[in-house]
């Protein structure tokens, strides 16, 4: 398997918690749209096209963050997270395949609606990059259930993978080296000359402060994954 440099791994580790927040953000939009649809249906109203779009588009974004996090955990831990493990999760195989359908084909995936609930109405047929025909069976659960079940299981898997990794301890510390900060100041078009001069004047103090930073990106990621799990429990009753 490809080995990643510590610098590369630290870069990706620093972004990990933010991508987990993005997963929750998109998931929450899907859930809110599904809840609004059901509420409107029960009230005898008509579900808006805007609500349909919020569910459709956020579901697509949600599936793409799944791929990002899968790739990121490989970089951070230097260990492959195989799709075979993800496929064992609730709706894992479905989420893998519809991510490909949504990203590579532009398939909307969600095109069924009944009694206030959004569904994948029938199997999806796509052709992969090798010309092979792939059939994706339609789940019987509605989109809200699919996303929440999968997100909870996926975040458990990611958290367990990060906690079990042996090679993440040395990723702690400042998010940036003094050289990276210096380069940003020197090449940024929005930092005024007086600020650049102040940085040059205080460079040694800034470098010392950076060395004292106790930032732990893995702990941050583990915490955010726990937040997603708690969110899933809160909207499903645990």
The pLDDT tens digits of the residues spanning 142-156 come to: 999 999 999 999 999
**What is the pLDDT averaged over residues 169-176?**
68
> Which band of pLDDT confidence, cut at 50, 70 and 90, is reported for residue 175?
low
Statement: residue 50 has pLDDT above 90: yes
Residue 113 has φ and ψ, to the nearest 5°, of: -145, 130
Closest CA to 218 of 158, 178, 177: 158
Closest CA to 76 of 15, 151, 144: 15
List of long-range contacts for 104-112, beta carbons under 8 Å, 24+ apart = 104/129, 108/56, 108/60, 109/56, 109/59, 109/60, 109/63, 110/55, 110/56, 110/59, 110/143
Tens-place pLDDT, residues 122-135? 999 998 888 889 89
Ordered by start, the domain boundaries in the chain are 6-173+216-236, 174-213
Lowest mean pLDDT among 56-70, 96-110, 202-216: 202-216
Q: What is the pLDDT of residue 1?
A: 47
The alpha-helical segments, DSSP class H, found in 43-169 are: 49-77, 83-86, 92-100, 143-164
Q: What is the pTM (predicted TM-score) of this model?
A: 0.87
Residue carrying the six token digits 């106790």: 214
Statement: residue 60 has pLDDT above 50: yes
**Whether the Cβ atoms of residue 43 and residue 131 lie closer than 8 Å to each other:** no
Residue 213 has φ and ψ, to the nearest 5°, of: -65, 135
Q: What is the pLDDT of residue 25?
A: 98
Q: What is the pLDDT of residue 194?
A: 81
Statement: residue 191 has pLDDT above 50: yes
């Amino acid at each position: 398997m490809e080995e990643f440099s510590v610098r590369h791994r630290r870069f990706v580790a620093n972004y990990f918690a933010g991508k987990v927040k993005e997963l929750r953000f998109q998931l929450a939009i899907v859930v809110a749209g599904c809840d609004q649809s059901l509420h409107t249906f029960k009230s005898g109203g008509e579900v808006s096209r805007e609500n349909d779009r919020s569910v459709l588009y956020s579901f697509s974004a949600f599936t793409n963050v799944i791929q990002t996090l899968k790739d990121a955990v490989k970089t951070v831990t230097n260990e492959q997270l195989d799709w075979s493990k993800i496929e064992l999760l609730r709706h894992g195989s479905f989420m893998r395949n519809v991510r490909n359908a949504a990203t590579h084909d532009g398939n909307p995936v969600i095109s069924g609606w009944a009694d206030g609930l959004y569904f994948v109405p029938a199997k999806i047929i796509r052709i992969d990059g090798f010309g092979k025909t792939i059939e994706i069976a339609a789940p019987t659960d509605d989109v809200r259930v699919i996303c929440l079940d999968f997100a909870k299981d996926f975040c458990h898997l990611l958290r367990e993978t990060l906690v079990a990794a042996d090679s993440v301890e040395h990723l702690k510390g400042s998010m940036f080296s003094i050289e990276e900060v210096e380069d940003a100041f020197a090449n940024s078009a929005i930092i005024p000359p007086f600020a650049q001069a102040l940085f040059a004047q205080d460079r040694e103090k800034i470098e010392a402060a950076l060395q004292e930073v106790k930032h732990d990106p893995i702990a941050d990621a583990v915490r955010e994954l726990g937040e997603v799990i708690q969110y899933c429990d809160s909207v499903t009753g645990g």
